[in-house]
Chains A and B, each alone.
Chain A
Amino acid sequence: MENIDIQANINAALNSLEGIQRAEADAALLQKIEARIAANREGRQVQQVQIRRLAIRLAAAAAVMLVLNFVVWLNVSKHRQNDTFQQFSETYFGSQLNY
């Protein structure tokens, strides 16, 4: 008897979804989604601005490095042209080379 009851309950539970109607979404859902779309778009714009700023800073830093390298290279090559043993001796030994 108990078994029959249990089987009846199981069948009733399994058949309980017959004739089920679709649950309806909240009417304000579209507004919420639109708000999230707008927020996402804003967030993406802010991100793009931040990335652009970072790129400009990196480019500026790279340009400064390039200029500094160029200045150093110019100085080195100028010294190479002008430096003679005599000048070197004067600079570092305070006297001319005496062969």
Chain B
Amino acid sequence: MTNSAEGIAISFQDCFDAHKDRVFNTALSMLQNWEEAEEVTQDVFLAVYEALASFRGQAALTTWLYRITVNKVLDRLKARKAQKRAGFTISLWKQKGAEETVFEIPDFLHPGVLLEQQESSKILFKAIAQLPENQQSAFVMAKVEQLSYAEIAAILNVTVPAVESLLVRAKQKLRELLKNFYENR
């Protein structure tokens, strides 16, 4: 990575080619929305373009990229929640809209899921969307991106036992949510 304009451009291109799918897949799995995942991927690489010259390799490039991605996705999820809250408040004023299910999670089908597991995965993704943010990030990185605990720990800036604990709690919560879903079906 050089400081010359051309050097940065080449590095950015390399970085984009090598990591675009990783960033997009993480964003897609957490946001469960194709357009938003694309927007976040654009945001991530814009941030990378701005900061690539100052990147001194304190962390692995992959870790750094995942960290930016997770932060951008969490920002997006917070904005989405705020929007839903505002929508809900408005719907309380408008009696007609109050019956609409503002918090309904739409079906999401990840394109990389095996055909025979697609129906089950739709339900799992619905449950994943209801996990607390840090559990959601850890679970997606472990199960979808198949990262090691050490890698997840570096990305989330926590210890390895903390990641283990996050994943255990995530699985417990998912079991609970899935049980409720199947019982009330």
Contacts and interface: CB of A to CB of B under 8 A. Distances in A.
Interface of A: 5-6, 9-10, 12-26, 29-30, 32-33, 36-37, 40
Nearest to A20: B112
Given A30-B16, A32-B42, A20 B179 contact: no
Interface residues of B, number: 38
A21 B145 CA distance: 9
A25 B21 contact: yes
Contact of A6 (B29, B38, B174, B182): B182
A25 B114 contact: no
Interface in B85-130: 110-114, 117-118, 120-121, 123-124, 127
B111 A23 contact: yes
B110 A18 contact: no
A85 B178 CA distance: 102
A17 B46 contact: no
A26 B113 CA distance: 18
Interface of B: 13, 16, 20-25, 28-29, 38, 41-42, 45-46, 49, 110-114, 117-118, 120-121, 123-124, 127, 143-145, 171, 174-175, 178-179, 182-183
A11 to B, nearest CB: 9
Contacts, number: 94
Contacts of B118: 16
15 contacts: A6-B179, A10-B182, A12-B120, A13-B120, A15-B117, A16-B124, A18-B117, A20-B144, A22-B25, A23-B29, A23-B110, A24-B111, A25-B23, A33-B45, A40-B46
Contacts of B144: 17, 20
Contacts of A25: 20-21, 23-24, 38, 41
A6 B182 CA distance: 6
A29 B120 contact: no
B124 A14 contact: yes
Contacts of A15: 117, 120
A56 to B, nearest CB: 28
A13 B127 contact: yes
A10 B179 contact: yes
Contacts of A21: 111-112
A22, A32, A36, A37 pick with most chain B CB within 10 angstroms: A22
Nearest to A30: B16
A16 B113 contact: yes
